Amino acid sequence: MTESNFTIGFIGLGLIGGSIAKGIRRVFPNYTLIGMDENPDTIKSALEEGIIDSVATDCKTDFADCNYVFLCAPVQYNVMYLKDLKESINKDCILTDVGSVKEEIHLKIEELGMEECFIGGHPMVGSEKAGFSFSSDRLVENAYYFITPTKKISEQRVKEFTNFIEELGALTIILDYKQHDAYTAAISHVPHIIAAELVHIVSNMDTDDGILKQLAAGGFKDITRIASSSPVVWEQISLSNKKNIKELLKKAQNHLGYVIAALDMEDREYLNNYFKEAGEYRDSVPDSAVGLIQKSYEIFIDIPDEPGTIATTTTLLALNNVSIKNIGIIHNREFEEGVLKIMLYDDESAKKATKILRDKNYTVYERK
Ligand SMILES: NC(=O)c1ccc[n+]([C@@H]2O[C@H](COP(=O)([O-])OP(=O)(O)OC[C@H]3O[C@@H](n4cnc5c(N)ncnc54)[C@H](O)[C@@H]3O)[C@@H](O)[C@H]2O)c1
Ligand SMILES: O=C(O)C(=O)C[C@]1(C(=O)O)C=C[C@H](O)C=C1
C-alpha cells in the first residue's frame, strides 16, 4: 500500500500516538495523516515536522475519510470518543486504539454496536517519558504488539491490520481482551504501582535537605524508573483495570505478610528461597521483546574499566553511520564480569558494528 489516498487519523499524538504516526510516515511516506490532540504545541510540532498533513478539530466530522483511526489518548478518554466516532467514520474504516487496558473499551464498543469495525491494539513498549517530543519512528520496532479483535470483525480485516502493524516492525500477538488485562495487570500495571510505592517509602523518610535522594543508588533507581510515568495515563489505567490490579495487590499484601513473619522468626530458609526463586525467574526473562521469537540485534563488548569508554565506543559507531537503539552495561550469569550491551536496529547494523569494533581490537560477543 503506497497510495496517497490512504488516510489515517490519530486522536492523541503523545509518546505512543506520535511514535506510531512517525513510524507510518517513515514506512509509508505517501499516506495522509490527520491528527487531533488537546495540546496545541503537540499539533504545532507534528505539523512542522511533517508527521501530520492536517489537523482534526471535530471528531464528529473530520475522520470521515479515514481508512484507519488510532485512539492514542489516555485509556478512558479513548472510550469517551467512541460515540462521536460512530457517527462519523465510514463503513470500511478500521478503528483501533493503543490503550494499555482493553476490557473497558471493548465493552463500550459492544454497547455501541461497533464490533464490526474495531480491533483493539496495545504496543508492549513505551517509556516513563510522555509527549510528542519523546516519540520515535522506531519505538514499536521489534516490540510485541497485542491485537484484541472483537468477535464480529472479519478475519480478513484482522489480517490486513496485523500485516500493517508488522510493516511498522512490531511483532503482533492476538489475544482475548480479558486475558490481555489479566496479563498486563501482572507485567505492567502492578509494577507501576509498586514502583510508585517504593518512591513514596523513600520520599516519606527523606530529610528536608533530601539526603536519601542524594544517596539512592542503582538498585532504587533501576526499580523505580517507571514511577516517573504520566500521572493521568496511570490514573486511568489503574481505574480501568482495577479488578485485576486489586487481586494481585492483595496477593502481594499476603506475600509481604509472610516476609514480615519470616523476619520475626529469623526464618533464613524462607528468606533465602524467596530471593533465590525470584532471582531464577528474573534471570530467565529475556532482555528484549524479540528474545523469544526473533533474533535480537544485540552485541556485547568487553569494556576496560576506565572513564570515557562508552563515549569512545558510541562515537566510533556514529562516525561509521551505525545508529544505536539502546545501550547499557549488564551483569548477569552469561557475562559475569559485566559487559557493554549495544542494541542495534537490524542485523546488518549489528554485523557492521561488530566488524568496526573488532577492527579496533575490542572483544565483541554475539549472543549464543
Ligand atoms: N507510556 C507507555 O509506555 C504506553 C505504552 C503502551 C501504550 N500506552 C497507552 O498509550 C496511550 C497514550 O499514552 P502515552 O504514553 O502516549 O501518553 P502521552 O501523555 O505521551 O500522550 C497522550 C496524548 O494524548 C493527548 N490527549 C490527552 N487527553 C486528550 C483528549 N481528551 N483528547 C485528545 N488528546 C488528548 C495529550 O495531549 C498527549 O499528546 C494510553 O492509552 C496508554 O495507556 C502507553
Ligand atoms: O518501559 C516503560 O517505561 C513502560 O512502562 C512501558 C510499558 C510497560 O509497563 O512495560 C508501559 C505501559 C504499557 O502499556 C506498555 C509498556
pLDDT at 209: 94
CA of 72 to the centre of ligand 1 (A): 5
Q: Is the CB of 124 under 6 A from ligand 2?
A: yes
Using an 8 Å Cβ cutoff, are 317 and 324 in contact?
Answer: yes
Strand ranges for 29-179 from DSSP E: 32-36, 54-55, 68-71, 94-97, 118-123, 144-149, 171-174
Whole-complex ipTM: 0.99
- Among protein residues, the one whose CA lies closest to atom 21 of ligand 1: 14
Torsion of the alpha carbons at 224, 225, 227 and 230, rounded to the nearest 10: 180
CA of 188 to the centre of ligand 2 (A): 6
Ligand nearest to the CA of 192: 2
Q: Which residue has cell 532471582?
A: 279
C-alpha closest to that of 71 among 36, 109, 39, 116: 36
- C-alpha cell, 173: 500477538
Q: What is the pTM of this model?
A: 0.83
pLDDT-derived band at 295, boundaries 50, 70, 90 = very low
What Cα–Cα distance (Å) separates residue 29 from each residue in 1, 21, 292?
11, 11, 31
The rounded distance, in Å, linking the Cα atoms of 245 and 193 is 9
Q: Is the CB of 126 under 6 A from ligand 2?
A: yes
- C-alpha cell, 110: 459492544
Ligand nearest to the CA of 194: 2
CA of 101 to the centre of ligand 2 (A): 12
Ligand 2 pocket test: which of 105, 173, 184, 188 has the largest number of ligand atoms within 8 Å of its C-beta?
188
CA of 144 to the centre of ligand 1 (A): 18
pLDDT-derived band at 288, boundaries 50, 70, 90 = low
**What number does the ligand 2 atom closest to the CA of 189 have?**
9
Mean pLDDT of 283-299: 66
Domains and CATH numbers, the chain: 3-175 (3.40.50.720), 181-284 (1.10.3660.10), 297-366 (3.30.70.260)
CA of 139 to the centre of ligand 2 (A): 12
What Cα–Cα distance (Å) separates residue 262 from each residue in 90, 135, 258, 330?
61, 45, 6, 32
Say whether 8 sits in a helix, a strand or coil: strand
Q: Higher confidence at residue 352 or residue 160?
A: 160
Task: Name the range with the highest mean pLDDT among 45-49, 221-225, 328-332, 358-362.
Answer: 45-49
CA of 73 to the centre of ligand 1 (A): 4
Q: Is the CB of 43 under 6 A from ligand 1?
A: no
**Is 122 a residue whose pLDDT tops 50?**
yes
Q: Is the CB of 125 under 6 A from ligand 2?
A: yes
- Among protein residues, the one whose CA lies closest to atom 39 of ligand 1: 14
Mean pLDDT of 1-19: 89
pLDDT-derived band at 368, boundaries 50, 70, 90 = very low
Say whether 285 sits in a helix, a strand or coil: coil
CA of 240 to the centre of ligand 1 (A): 14
**Is 283 a residue whose pLDDT tops 90?**
yes
Distance separating the N- and C-terminal Cα atoms of the chain = 38
Torsion of the alpha carbons at 329, 332, 337 and 339, rounded to the nearest 10: -30
pLDDT-derived band at 3, boundaries 50, 70, 90 = low
Q: Is the CB of 288 under 6 A from ligand 2?
A: no
pLDDT in tens, 199-238: 999 999 999 999 999 999 888 999 999 999 999 999 999 9
CA of 91 to the centre of ligand 1 (A): 26
pLDDT at 367: 62
The single-letter DSSP state of residue 206 is -
Q: Which residue has cell 530467565?
A: 284
